[in-house]
Amino acid sequence: MGITLFNALDEPKNRVYYSAPVIIFVIGPKSNDVCCSLACENMMIATTSLGLGSCYVGFGVMVKGNPEIEQAPELTKDERIYGPILLGYPKVNPGEAVTKALESIGPNKKDPIVKWI
């Protein structure tokens, strides 16, 4: 048996989740990539509106390499994990972070170009 991705992680193995207090694994049919990805995005927007921080960690799907954890979500052969989404309280005020980002983008922002076809 080859080495799993989970086993290849350095200790502590939960480092990829940044010790987040909440991890949401969004699970859905393999055929619904767009819908499940949009569900993840909507959850992240909602958490921001509540003053929480969120982070989509695609690398976090490596949980599939841990047989003990892999059984918990009871995935069928037609399902996959679209998250995980980490939730918690941000270290910085999100409003301040957004303001700073917009200030740095502002001078370099170009006017939009609209083409009507």
What CATH number does the domain containing 72 carry?
3.40.109.10
Alpha helices in 1-117 (DSSP H): 5-8, 33-49, 67-70, 94-105
Domain count, the chain: 1
Inside any domain, residue 26: yes
Q: How far apart are CA 103 and CA 75, in angstroms?
A: 44
Inside any domain, residue 103: no
Inside any domain, residue 102: no
Sheet containing strand 22-24, edge to edge, reads: 22-24, 85-88, 53-56
Inside any domain, residue 52: yes
Tens-digit pLDDT string for the chain (117 aa): 334 555 665 665 556 676 788 888 888 898 988 898 899 999 999 988 887 889 888 766 666 666 666 677 787 888 888 878 988 887 777 677 667 766 776 666 677 676 676
Inside any domain, residue 101: no
Domain of 84, in residue numbers: 5-91
